[in-house]
Chain A
Amino acid sequence: MTVDPVFQRPSPLLQVRGITHRYGHHIGCRDVGFDLYPGEVLGIVGESGSGKTTLLKCISGQMEPSEGSVEYQTRDAGLIDLFRMSEARRRLLMRTDWGIVYQNPRDGLRMRVSAGANVGERLMAIGDRHYGHIRSEAVDWLERVEMDIGRIDDMPHTFSGGMQQRLQIARNLVTKPRLVFMDEPTSGLDVSVQARLLDLIRGLVRTLGIACVIVTHDLGVVRLLSHRLMVMKGGSVVESGLTDQVLDDPQHPYTQLLVSSILPV
């Protein structure tokens, strides 16, 4: 019998091949490869030191890997290797088509300019010069991340951790990126704030069709948000697949340990 699934799938947005990164003699991550498609959410889990943040930095263009390639489907010129394009082009890409949400909002926000300006800055970076338009977009995005508009002119350092994180998300999404990288977006927040933020991310990813790579050690986060999962240990991917399959029927000893270590509520 022949099986011929006729799934229509666009080309991948990101093609990662053979990423290895060494810190001196120490291996950060080893031979990691995957494809990410438009609208797809990929979760990367593993304990501290498993290499997941190293991998995220390599695939998001923040750090050049020792080996391997990261190709991105540009809007105008097809697949281009991140580390073969000009610095200017890579920076433009990172400000417009991509978003990066850092674990610590201080790494992703300008703490000494207002909340509104934090959001507006990304618009100015892509050439928007109309103050009224920038202001109204900023207001719109602050509302979408459930921020109090009355605080649009306040500095981020006066905000709580959860508000800073939501501001960071607004700042990233205002340019309508196609791809967002998130490094532990909810850790360090208390659980009620986490739930609100997760709900927000889930809704935005669904309605905007953004592709997303989320690095986290929290299996609840990936169960809620990601379509696909990669489990890392000691720099290598030990298991990958459909999120609920990996979590409910883990095959690798390390994944089994990880799943069985969650404290039931």
Chain B
Amino acid sequence: MTAFDDTVMLHAQGLAKHFVLHNQGGVKIDVFDNVEFTARQGECVILAGPSGSGKSTLLRSLYANYKPQAGSIFVRHGASWVDLCSAQPYQILEIRRDTLGYVSQFLRVIPRVATLDLVTEPLIGQGLTEGAARERAATILTRLRIPEALWSLPPATFSGGEQQRVNIAMTFVQDYPILLLDEPTASLDTENCQTVIDLINEAKARGAAVIGIFHDADVRGAVGTRFYDVAETRQAA
């Protein structure tokens, strides 16, 4: 049905993004233009480029959190292909539920919701029983060294590293076919950093396509398959 072979999970083409700041005199900020790349099963594409080159903007666009001005992002969703740039909101929500996992740089805290429930919720949304979902949530929280005593508490008061690990658990509790990771190891100690590296490599081994931003050279070396330089697209623009 498509021109993509069976290993392609995500393909972006002709992607352009700029911001117009209407309340600051209509300043236009060009971020990238004509981005084209492919992410395949079992690989980890590292978005490279200096700070401010638009790596996070690209990653957010791939999650449909930002709205590109031109281009397409084709995502393999189950047996079909969907262009995120023209999909309806409900389709994007379904794709995020089943196909696209995203770990942001910072945890967006939901007041009053306990850590265990935060990690369990997406699984229940997928139709797992509460018992099975809790078991999986407990496994990933344990693996990321969140002490059991904290599970019943909302993560608002946790340390930066603990919050980031809850954030990672919320995504890695599911086996997403595509993972978008924005500096998941930034505030982690060596031990936890290694756990996240293992999780990423396990995801690749089961066939997930990973697209990520990593600043740490050791992490890049441990997970990366190849680089995509975002800055180059701007010089072309």
Taking a contact as CB atoms under 8 Å apart, the answer to whether B113 and A199 are in contact is: yes
Could you tell me the distance between the alpha carbons of A149 and B155 in the complex, rounded to whole angstroms?
30
| Of B78-86, B174-182, B192-200, the one touching chain A | B78-86
Rounded to whole Å, the gap between the CB of B174 and the closest CB of chain A is 17
Label chain B's interface by main secondary structure: mixed
Q: Which residue of B lies closest to A9 (CB)?
A: B90
List residues of chain B with CB within 8 A of the CB of A242.
64, 89, 92-93
Taking a contact as CB atoms under 8 Å apart, the answer to whether A245 and B91 are in contact is: no
List residues of chain A with CB within 8 A of the CB of B87.
5
**A244-B65, A245-B65, A249-B67 are contacts. A7–B89 as well, Cβ < 8 Å?**
no
List residues of chain B with CB within 8 A of the CB of A196.
112
Among A188-245, those with CB < 8 Å from B are 195-196, 198-199, 202, 206, 224, 227-228, 241-242, 244-245
Taking a contact as CB atoms under 8 Å apart, the answer to whether B22 and A40 are in contact is: no
Residue B232, interface by CB 8 Å? no
List residues of chain B with CB within 8 A of the CB of A245.
64-67
Among B50-68, those with CB < 8 Å from A are 60, 64-67
**A2-B2, A3-B74, A249-B66 are contacts. A227–B89 as well, Cβ < 8 Å?**
yes
List residues of chain A with CB within 8 A of the CB of B112.
195-196, 199
Could you tell me the distance between the alpha carbons of A129 and B140 in the complex, rounded to whole angstroms?
50
Rounded to whole Å, the gap between the CB of A5 and the closest CB of chain B is 5
Residue B110, interface by CB 8 Å? yes
Rounded to whole Å, the gap between the CB of B20 and the closest CB of chain A is 8
Could you tell me the distance between the alpha carbons of A248 and B90 in the complex, rounded to whole angstroms?
18
Residue A251, interface by CB 8 Å? yes
List residues of chain B with CB within 8 A of the CB of A248.
60, 65-66
Rounded to whole Å, the gap between the CB of B167 and the closest CB of chain A is 15
When A and B form their complex, what is the total count of cross-chain residue pairs whose Cβ atoms lie within 8 Å? 77
Size of interface on A: residues with Cβ below 8 Å to B: 31
Q: Contacting B89 at CB < 8 Å: which of A5, A228, A256, A257? A: A228
Residue A77, interface by CB 8 Å? no
Rounded to whole Å, the gap between the CB of B31 and the closest CB of chain A is 11
Q: Contacting A5 at CB < 8 Å: which of B65, B91, B110, B111? A: B91
Could you tell me the distance between the alpha carbons of A6 and B1 in the complex, rounded to whole angstroms?
13
Q: Which residue of A lies closest to B83 (CB)?
A: A3
Residue A1, interface by CB 8 Å? yes
Rounded to whole Å, the gap between the CB of B137 and the closest CB of chain A is 16
User: Would you give the 0/1 interface string for A168-195, flagging 1 where the beta carbon is closer than 8 Å to chain B?
Assistant: 0000000000000000000000000001
Residue A148, interface by CB 8 Å? no
List residues of chain B with CB within 8 A of the CB of A5.
77, 80-82, 87, 91
Interface residues of B (CB under 8 A from A): 1-4, 19-23, 60, 64-67, 74, 77-83, 87, 89-94, 110-113, 121
Pairs A–B under 8 Å by Cβ, sample size 15: A2-B2, A3-B74, A4-B1, A6-B80, A7-B90, A37-B90, A195-B112, A224-B110, A228-B89, A228-B90, A242-B92, A245-B64, A245-B65, A245-B66, A249-B67
Interface residues of A (CB under 8 A from B): 1-7, 9, 37, 40, 195-196, 198-199, 202, 206, 224, 227-228, 241-242, 244-245, 248-249, 251-253, 256-257, 260
A-B pairs, top 10 by smallest CB distance, nearest first, are A253-B22, A195-B111, A242-B89, A249-B66, A199-B112, A5-B82, A228-B89, A6-B80, A1-B3, A3-B81
